[in-house]
Structure 1
Amino acid sequence: MAAAAAAEHADDRVADRFSLDAAEERLMQELDRMPAPEKKRSPGKLVWGLAAGVVVAGALGALWGMHLPVRRANPASSMEAHNTPPAPMPAPRAASVQKTAQPEPLIEEAEAKKSDELSKQLKASKTRYAQLSVTAKETQQQLAELQAQEQQISNERDALQQELAQAQAQIQTLKTASATMTSAVQNQNLRLADLQTTVDVLNSSLNEKNRLLALDKQFLAHDRQIRNLIAARNLYIADIYDVKDNGETAKPFGRIFYTKNTSLVFYGYDLDKHVRRNKLVSFQAWGSGNDQPEVSLGLFSKDGKQKCWILHFNNTKTLARLNKVFVTVEPQGGSNKPTGKQILMAYLRIQPNHP
């Protein structure tokens, strides 16, 4: 019985070995029928390696599952080997082959499913890899464009910095020139102000000299007239004094040189004593006749050298109808008729006293 059990156990080991060899052979055939992965793509190699590992692991698991019941059944058969007679060798071999042959369709189906899943995964991986490749190319292209733009911007920035530096240098040059010109203009303005002051002084001096020259000419003319007047045989000369209320002689006084119906020269002295200081007035001479309105004989002009006022009148028609002359203080420029106070007066209807 022991010999029979040992023989049966040996047959089981042979059957197990046969089943493992058959499964390994089928696995290798399935792997040979699968398409070879592309060598250039490392992700394909990894996928195919994983697929092969999964298939091998599945096959070994299936074989181990089939072999485990047989191994568990062996102790019982070994116990029976001591009590039962040895059986013929062919019968147990046929039963063992039948037991190992039963799960082959399941293995093929599992392998087919695994192969389909792996194919799908591989296809998805290829698609994803293609998409990633396209995305990578687009990204590289965009990166190259961005780098080109960055380089262009950098070049433009350098050019702008150079232009800015040139502009700043020009601005500094213009500022320096402007400061120089401003200083020169200020100096010219000061010089111009000095020259204008000098011109004003010279104009004032010239005007004064012209005025004095005109007065000199006027006085020369008056002098000639006075010489002619003094040489006349019918000359009347009189000093005129202003008298106060108490009978005393006042400061203002005058002197008249009069040729009947021909010429009148009137000198006035200290006329400004009746005028407030810094008040601008004019001293105006008037003439009147019988039942005749007053006639203006003109304004006195001041003789700075003699410190007096002088008036010359030679209108013969007017002098022929006058019988007196007098002086009034009027606003500057004179008036059309007497408005101020009379300060000097003389009668003309008198006999000549020279010669």
Structure 2
Amino acid sequence: MNTESDIINFSKPAQKRAGKHSADTSGQVVKTDILQGIYRMMLLIRRAEETLQKLFLDGKVPGFLHLSIGQEAVAAAVSSCLGARDTVSSNHRGHGHTIAKGVALEGFFAEILGKATGLCKGRGGSMHVADLKIGMLGANGIVGAGIPITTGSALALKLQGEGHIAVVYFGDGALAEGVVHECFNIAKLWSLPVLFVCENNGWSEFSPTDRQLATSLRQMATAYGISYDEVDGNDARDVRASAEATISVMRSEARPAILECRTTRVRGHFEGDKQDYRHADEAAEMAARDPLLVTRRQLKSEGVADDWFTRLAETTEAEIDTALAAALAAPEPNPKDILADVYTVSGGRHG
């Protein structure tokens, strides 16, 4: 069971939404059953990443590991508004986005462990998990790289004309990348149904965001004329209300939007980061804003009983244990298959 000290929030609270580019969420009500579903997904993401953290410490996860602990509300709430044919792209901190889109946990764990049964046959690992069958176009190790991929997906979806949208998650540090501004421009110019979700956790690797950017994302959105909203990214209900209102308009009008979520990066930039660039007193500053605890309090105030949370914790643990056991037992990739999927096999003539 979570306690007040489990998760620490190091971010500043979000400002209230304001300005002509803000989404209208005044009539948006997030029902209890929907919030329960979001909490269920948040808990699954949290427990999955805690499992990965242990595996990493045991030396079973190759490469780097970037955890999104403290940011679960964003992925869970936004994905609760998406359909099977909507697409998603992510960044190096993409486990939560991947799980929230509906990826099979066994394949997810197997991929990060480098197993042959992984979603990408063990070749992508933590920073490049993808599952095209469910519209998860992939996490990306290069900062901002998911944004042009998603913008292209939004163009394809618009041409299909069936009301589907594309969503890309990125951190505040990506706003310094030129390709981000190119995509803001083309998305507005061509009225593409792409939702740019900025998870602003206040840190760009090891530096505060305000040392990286000359202006705010709100001002950038105004400059490009793109609809913008800012929410408390640690409040799943707030994220869901804004995302639902925004996405509803996007489906009918096929236009871009920006959603900035002020959230928390509880862990370091990567596992092993000592975080000695943070103030010692930050750990106790905002512990009560753990997104799981925030949502739990909301649900309990609406009459959700303690035994519901207890049962959910048990079923979530069992789900993860089953998936992990299968992934650990899976075979290693065969070195002979190293060139498989590198080239397209074609029966056509060349030359």
TM range, normalised to the smaller chain?
under 0.3
Asked which structure has the greater CA Rg, the reply is: 1
The structure in which a higher percent of residues are strand is 1
Structure number with higher relative contact order (C-alpha < 8 Å, ≥ 6 residues apart): 2
- TM-score where L is the length of structure 2: 0.19
